[in-house]
């Protein structure tokens, strides 16, 4: 089993805690160089901190704070020290910008390299980075990590699907990075073109940037005959390289030497223990240009609590799949639900293809949920009885999961809208009434 930085990846937990405490104190002191944190941290005396958990004495930082302090309010260095800026893809609301020093960029590349090596990829691999470049962090983030490892990087970006496929063939791509929704679309185009996705040289896929279920991962693995790894990050915390799966695939290792993790009740802000699902709150421990303290990520997950350290030997905690964002939650007929719950159900049906969308409408006073799903072409044989049975089975399975009875609509493959970036899974027409 390979490591990028074995010493830090396997650091015993006590030593990890000592390192975190030291870095936490440093980052607080550094943050005070910014206009925003100078006021925010005025009453804090970090010299009294004795353990990383003392972080709870600090106030939270929210996306709203970042927006209010747009553009340089959180900057701790003179502007001439910044070498790059990135921004969030604005999944919800206005984008936020993040700045990096030269050392921040090097540090980030190093973290991504850890993830790449942890997943079993190597210098000899040919890496196609099928994700948006530019302000979005997924492109350049993986790009520099892969170059650090020494892979041949094909910065193909998203779109122009036939060219992507041609590049894979011509240069014998062995590893890709993509959103799950786009890479599934690529496989459909391959099939249309008469190519078998399993026949390519691909062996590993990094999939992330959007929520997806275990079943979706398995679909990607089966379709391409590869091993797929979940990759988590966000621009506020650099981008990819925050948490990533190892070959055990029992959660994503969260790099605790760089990021201090808490899980809190999203409503009360109270600390939650391992195994309890809540909002991830993260403090950057090493970032120079723009440290962020106790950032409310909005992402819902839990710390894996299986009582065992990971068999791969890494000491850093593992987090579950991201269930969604606190602001993804839908309230349908008074019931709270997340799109990912419906995806879990849909993807467990082998007849269901890879694209789906949820439509919400209000009929009178009642919410109506329509689940539109693409089926594989082989399902459209004219056997209506079979389709009706499938519709009923899916409907019942969703109802059992979310306690709301949806309508289920079948569509041909390729007929529901697609995006090249993050998939748009929910169309909520209720707000327009």
Interface contacts to ligand AMP, rule CB under 6 A: 88-89, 91, 137, 208-211, 230-235, 297, 299, 322, 325
- For the CB of residue 321, give the shortest distance to ligand AMP in the complex, in Å: 6
Of 161 and 235, the one with the shorter C-beta distance to ligand AMP is 235
- For the CB of residue 322, give the shortest distance to ligand AMP in the complex, in Å: 3
How many whole angstroms separate alpha carbon 31 and alpha carbon 300?
26
Phi/psi of residue 410, nearest 5 degrees: -95, 140
Q: Tell how strand 335-337 and strand 152-154 pair up.
A: unpaired
Applying CB under 5 A, does 246 fall inside the site for Zn ion? yes
Applying CB under 5 A, does 310 fall inside the site for Zn ion? yes
User: Among ligand AMP, Zn ion, none, what does residue 367 contact (CB within 5–8 Å per kind)?
Assistant: none
User: Among ligand AMP, Zn ion, none, what does residue 390 contact (CB within 5–8 Å per kind)?
Assistant: none
Tokens matching residue 231: 């990759």
Phi/psi of residue 420, nearest 5 degrees: -85, -20
Q: Tell how strand 82-87 and strand 204-208 pair up.
A: unpaired
CB 360 within 8 A of CB 330: yes
How many whole angstroms separate alpha carbon 38 and alpha carbon 44?
10
Of 246 and 322, the one with the shorter C-beta distance to Zn ion is 246
User: Among ligand AMP, Zn ion, none, what does residue 312 contact (CB within 5–8 Å per kind)?
Assistant: Zn ion
Of 27 and 112, the one with the shorter C-beta distance to Zn ion is 112
User: Among Zn ion, ligand AMP, none, what does residue 282 contact (CB within 5–8 Å per kind)?
Assistant: none
User: Among Zn ion, ligand AMP, none, what does residue 310 contact (CB within 5–8 Å per kind)?
Assistant: Zn ion
- For the CB of residue 331, give the shortest distance to ligand AMP in the complex, in Å: 19
Tell me how crowded residue 317 is: count the other CB atoms within 10 A of its CB.
Answer: 22
How many residues belong to the site for Zn ion (CB under 5 A)? 5
How many whole angstroms separate alpha carbon 184 and alpha carbon 178?
9
Give CB contacts under 8 A, 24+ apart, made by 362-367.
362/429, 362/430, 362/433, 366/333, 367/332, 367/333, 367/430
Of 247 and 277, the one with the shorter C-beta distance to Zn ion is 247
Applying CB under 5 A, does 361 fall inside the site for Zn ion? no
Contacts of 380 (CB under 8 A, 6+ apart): 412
How many whole angstroms separate alpha carbon 334 and alpha carbon 288?
45
User: Among Zn ion, ligand AMP, none, what does residue 52 contact (CB within 5–8 Å per kind)?
Assistant: none
Applying CB under 5 A, does 394 fall inside the site for Zn ion? no
Q: What is the largest CA-CA distance in the chain?
A: 73
- For the CB of residue 234, give the shortest distance to ligand AMP in the complex, in Å: 3
How many whole angstroms separate alpha carbon 291 and alpha carbon 279?
20
Applying CB under 5 A, does 119 fall inside the site for Zn ion? no
- For the CB of residue 254, give the shortest distance to Zn ion in the complex, in Å: 11
Strands (E), 293-349: 295-301, 318-319, 324-325, 330-332, 335-337
- For the CB of residue 205, give the shortest distance to ligand AMP in the complex, in Å: 12
- For the CB of residue 263, give the shortest distance to ligand AMP in the complex, in Å: 14
Q: Can you tell me which of 113, 202, 290, 312 binds Zn ion, judged by CB under 5 A? A: 312
User: Among Zn ion, ligand AMP, none, what does residue 248 contact (CB within 5–8 Å per kind)?
Assistant: Zn ion
Region of 181-189, 206-214, 248-256, 395-403 interacting with Zn ion (CB under 5 A)? 248-256
User: Among Zn ion, ligand AMP, none, what does residue 299 contact (CB within 5–8 Å per kind)?
Assistant: ligand AMP
How many whole angstroms separate alpha carbon 58 and alpha carbon 65?
15
Region of 34-42, 206-214, 314-322, 396-404 interacting with Zn ion (CB under 5 A)? 314-322
CB 361 within 8 A of CB 429: yes
Of 325 and 411, the one with the shorter C-beta distance to ligand AMP is 325
How many whole angstroms separate alpha carbon 309 and alpha carbon 321?
18
- For the CB of residue 326, give the shortest distance to ligand AMP in the complex, in Å: 10
Question: Which among 414, 423, 422 has a CA at the least distance from the CA of 353?
Answer: 414
- For the CB of residue 89, give the shortest distance to ligand AMP in the complex, in Å: 3
User: Among Zn ion, ligand AMP, none, what does residue 332 contact (CB within 5–8 Å per kind)?
Assistant: none
Question: Which among 358, 301, 293, 304 has a CA at the least distance from the CA of 325?
Answer: 301
User: Among Zn ion, ligand AMP, none, what does residue 428 contact (CB within 5–8 Å per kind)?
Assistant: none
- For the CB of residue 314, give the shortest distance to Zn ion in the complex, in Å: 5
How many whole angstroms separate alpha carbon 68 and alpha carbon 71?
8
How many whole angstroms separate alpha carbon 114 and alpha carbon 315?
14
Residues of the shown chain interacting with Zn ion in the complex, contacts defined by CB under 5 A: 246, 248, 310, 312, 314
């Amino acid at each position: 089993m390979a490591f990028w930085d074995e010493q830090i990846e396997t650091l015993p937990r006590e030593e990890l805690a000592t390192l975190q405490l030291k870095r936490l104190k440093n980052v607080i002191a550094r943050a005070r160089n910014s206009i925003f944190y100078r006021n925010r941290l005025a009453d804090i005396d970090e010299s009294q901190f004795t353990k990383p958990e003392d972080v709870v004495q600090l106030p939270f930082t929210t996306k709203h704070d970042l927006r209010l302090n747009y553009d340089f309010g959180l900057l701790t260095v003179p502007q001439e020290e910044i070498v790059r800026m990135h921004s969030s893809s604005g999944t919800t609301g206005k984008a936020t910008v993040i700045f990096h020093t030269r050392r921040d960029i090097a540090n980030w590349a190093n973290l991504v390299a850890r993830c790449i090596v942890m997943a079993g990829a190597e210098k000899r691999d040919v890496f196609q980075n099928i994700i948006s470049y530019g302000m979005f962090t997924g492109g350049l983030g993986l790009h520099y990590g892969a170059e650090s490892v020494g892979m041949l990087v094909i910065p193909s970006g998203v779109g122009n699907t036939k060219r992507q496929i041609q590049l894979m063939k011509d240069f014998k791509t062995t590893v890709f990075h993509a959103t799950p929704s786009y890479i599934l679309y690529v496989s459909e185009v391959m099939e249309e073109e008469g190519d078998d996705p399993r026949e390519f040289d691909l062996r590993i896929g990094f999939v992330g940037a959007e929520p997806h279920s275990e079943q979706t991962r398995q679909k990607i693995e089966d379709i391409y005959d590869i091993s797929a790894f979940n990759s988590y990050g966000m621009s506020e915390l650099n981008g990819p390289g925050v948490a990533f799966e190892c070959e055990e695939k029992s959660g994503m290792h969260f790099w605790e030497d760089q990021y201090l993790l808490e899980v809190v009740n999203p409503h009360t802000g109270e600390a939650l223990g391992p195994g309890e699902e809540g909002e991830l709150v993260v403090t950057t421990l090493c970032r120079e240009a723009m440290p962020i303290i106790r950032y409310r990520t909005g992402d819902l997950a839990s710390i894996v609590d299986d009582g065992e350290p990971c068999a791969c030997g890494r000491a850093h905690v593992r987090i579950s799949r991201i269930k969604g964002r606190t602001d993804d939650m839908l309230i349908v007929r008074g019931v709270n639900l997340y799109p990912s719950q419906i995806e879990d159900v849909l993807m467990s049906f082998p007849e269901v293809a890879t694209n789906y969308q949820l439509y919400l409408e209000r009929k009178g006073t009642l919410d109506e949920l329509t689940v539109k799903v693409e089926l594989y072409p082989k399902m459209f044989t004219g056997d209506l009885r079979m389709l009706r049975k499938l519709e009923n089975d899916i409907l019942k399975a969703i109802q059992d999961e979310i306690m709301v009875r949806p309508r289920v609509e079948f569509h041909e493959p390729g007929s529901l809208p697609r995006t090249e970036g993050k998939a748009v899974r929910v169309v909520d027409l209720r707000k327009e009434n």
